[in-house]
Amino acid sequence: MLGVLVSVVILVLLFGVVALHGTSPPQTPHNGPLGSTTTTAPSTIGAGANEASHAACVADYQMVQSALGTYRALNGHSPQRGTAWATSKIDGLSQLTAWPSGAPYFEISWNGSTLDVLVTKGLASVGSAGSATSRSGCYGF
């Protein structure tokens, strides 16, 4: 009987502590006082869209650039202009399942000699993903 009474008292104390302090998990400091949090979220929705578009543009550009390298290695020359070389199936396989599209933010095109990144804002970049200083290509958002 005494054991049951002790158990009930312990449970009541635990319940009281949880009720007073809530059930949120403990927070750890992130270069600040205990309980402070940091975030990497964009400041606005527009900024978030630009960051996502930039990341997608860079990834798509690198994917097409890799497909171009594979095509050159297999065929000994660059493909013709357009996208058919990348999406057409040869022996049941294609370089890309679909040509990447970042509309309305960017477009990647192949003219037979250079890979172009055309963006809705900023300057077009010919032959590369652009640079942050000239705000061209994928960096033109």
C-alpha distances (whole Å) from 123 to each of 47, 80, 100 are 19, 25, 20
What is the pLDDT, as a whole number, of residue 54? 84
Nearest to 60 by CA among 101, 24, 91: 101
List the domain boundaries for the chain. 49-139
DSSP 59-118: HHHHHHHHHHHHHHHHHSSPPPSSSHHHHS-BTTB-S-SS---BTTTEEEEE-SS-EEEE
Contact of 96 with 64, CB cutoff 8 Å: yes
Respond yes or no on whether the N-terminal peptide bond of residue 104 is cis (omega within 30° of 0). yes
pTM: 0.63
How far is 115 from 81, CA to CA, in rounded Å?
10
Task: Give the mean pLDDT per block of 10 residues along the chain (141 residues).
Answer: 59 58 47 53 65 88 92 92 90 87 87 88 77 76 67
Q: Which residues pair with 106 in a beta bridge?
A: 102, 119
Contact of 120 with 113, CB cutoff 8 Å: no
What is the pLDDT, as a whole number, of residue 78? 93
What is the pLDDT, as a whole number, of residue 35? 52
What is the pLDDT, as a whole number, of residue 15? 60
What is the pLDDT, as a whole number, of residue 29? 46
What is the pLDDT, as a whole number, of residue 131? 73
How far is 89 from 139, CA to CA, in rounded Å?
32
